[in-house]
A and B are shown apart, each in its own frame.
Chain A
Amino acid sequence: MSSSNKSNNAFSPLEQHLLNDYQRDMTLSATPYADIAEQLGVAEEDVLQSIKSLQERGVISRVGPVFRPNRIGVSTLAAMAVPEKDLECVARIVSAFPEVNHNYERDHEYNLWFVVTASSAEHLDIVLYEIEQHAEYPLMSLPMLDDYFIDLGFKLKWAN
């Protein structure tokens, strides 16, 4: 099964390679971008410029490590059921916590879903408590118990 992509025309062949082929196993050499350039037969400067451009356009959030959940810190998925009239305000309160990294509205009775990451379980409990206090709605915490996903990066399919 494949995923189709509508905006493939927006990306040069070099950008498509960077997006597709380097989501994992980037070399830990002193000059990682020169290594990529050599593999793709382009100049290092082109790789640096393309990555900066993709970052400015918001297509890539960063280049670097993705940490495994609950190894160097602890995290949980939290949900709240917030009346529509208060949602914007509560979402802003939630997003203001530096420990919150993702915060989405979803179409369900539980309509606000966010990920909270902290340095320890104690720190996490304090933040969850503080969020509840400030948001004034009860919070449901659903920490990950098992991870069944082998993260190989996201396969992008370019329409021809």
Chain B
Amino acid sequence: MSSAELNNHVVQLTTEDRALIKAVERGLPIVSRPYEAIAKQLNITEQDVISRLQQLIDNGAIKRYGVVVRHKELGYTANGMVVWNVPDDQVDELGTCIGKYDCVTLSYRRPRRLPDWSYNLFTMVHGSDRDEVTRKVAEIVESCGLQNIEHTILFSTRRFKQRGASYTEKSVPAQTAINDQSAKLRLVK
């Protein structure tokens, strides 16, 4: 299994960008001048912080900027990961249709892993309880015309971990392996 194809879309970042991302990925300080606080930490100017963040918004690296809510604490205690087995030539159309609903927060195409896993469209549906999620899924089936598309709902039963992604932290084994690899590469050269 390789993730190499994922590298295609990765935005090349400078060391300064990485430091900035590390400073903001867990959230802005809740103080009157948050960018000034970050700037001091990074030893750059407040205006630098703001304009670099603007660049990351402009080049699409940041898709949304604001308050990040946690659904469960807001009373949306049920979330169903609804997975669909959609014919390949219909995924774009149906994924877009499902993605438009207010109760939906994700609509992704992912690979099948046959024979173990045949579902290729993943959507996240939120509700106050399981019945509500099930009702919403039924509405979506009806209005997007998914009556003949096989689907199943995977309800979450326990949350072991939830936080914003870190793009800068590395586990010890990963750090070690990466260092080993670059050491090997240097030897080859």
Contact B10 A71 (CB under 8 A): yes
* In the complex, chain A residues whose CB is within 8 Å of the CB of B189: none
Q: Select one of A8, A24, A58, A149 contacting B75, CB under 8 A.
A: A8
Contact B67 A144 (CB under 8 A): no
Contact A3 B126 (CB under 8 A): yes
* In the complex, chain A residues whose CB is within 8 Å of the CB of B109: 144-146, 148
Contact B157 A105 (CB under 8 A): yes
Is A135 close to B, CB under 8 A? no
Most buried by B among A29, A44, A57, A149: A149
| Chain B binding surface, main DSSP class | mixed
Q: Select one of B9, B116, B122 contacting A71, CB under 8 A.
A: B9
Contact A127 B171 (CB under 8 A): yes
Residue-wise, chain A 125-160 has the 8 Å CB interface mask toward B (1 for contact) of 111101000000000111111111111111110000
Residue of A whose beta carbon sits closest to that of B156: A104
* In the complex, chain B residues whose CB is within 8 Å of the CB of A104: 156, 158-160
A151 to B116, CA, bound (A): 30
Which residues between 101 and 134 of chain A lie within 8 Å of chain B, taking CB atoms?
101-108, 110, 113-115, 117-128, 130
Contact A148 B98 (CB under 8 A): yes
Contact B32 A48 (CB under 8 A): yes
| Chain A binding surface, main DSSP class | mixed
Is B44 close to A, CB under 8 A? no
Smallest Cβ distance from B178 to chain A, in angstroms? 6
Using A23-B66, A66-B64 as known contacts, say yes or no to A146 and B95 having CB atoms under 8 A apart. Answer: yes
Q: Which residues of B contact A (CB under 8 A)?
A: 1-7, 9-11, 13, 17, 21, 24-28, 30-36, 46, 50, 53-54, 56-57, 60-71, 73-76, 81, 91-92, 95-96, 98-111, 113, 116-117, 122, 126-128, 132, 136, 139, 152, 154-171, 173-174, 177-178, 181
30 A-B residue pairs with Cβ-Cβ distance under 8 Å, sorted by A, are A3-B128, A7-B75, A19-B67, A25-B66, A26-B67, A30-B46, A34-B32, A61-B69, A62-B164, A65-B53, A74-B10, A95-B161, A100-B161, A101-B165, A103-B159, A113-B81, A119-B168, A120-B10, A121-B7, A124-B6, A126-B173, A126-B174, A127-B174, A140-B113, A143-B110, A146-B92, A148-B95, A149-B104, A150-B100, A156-B74
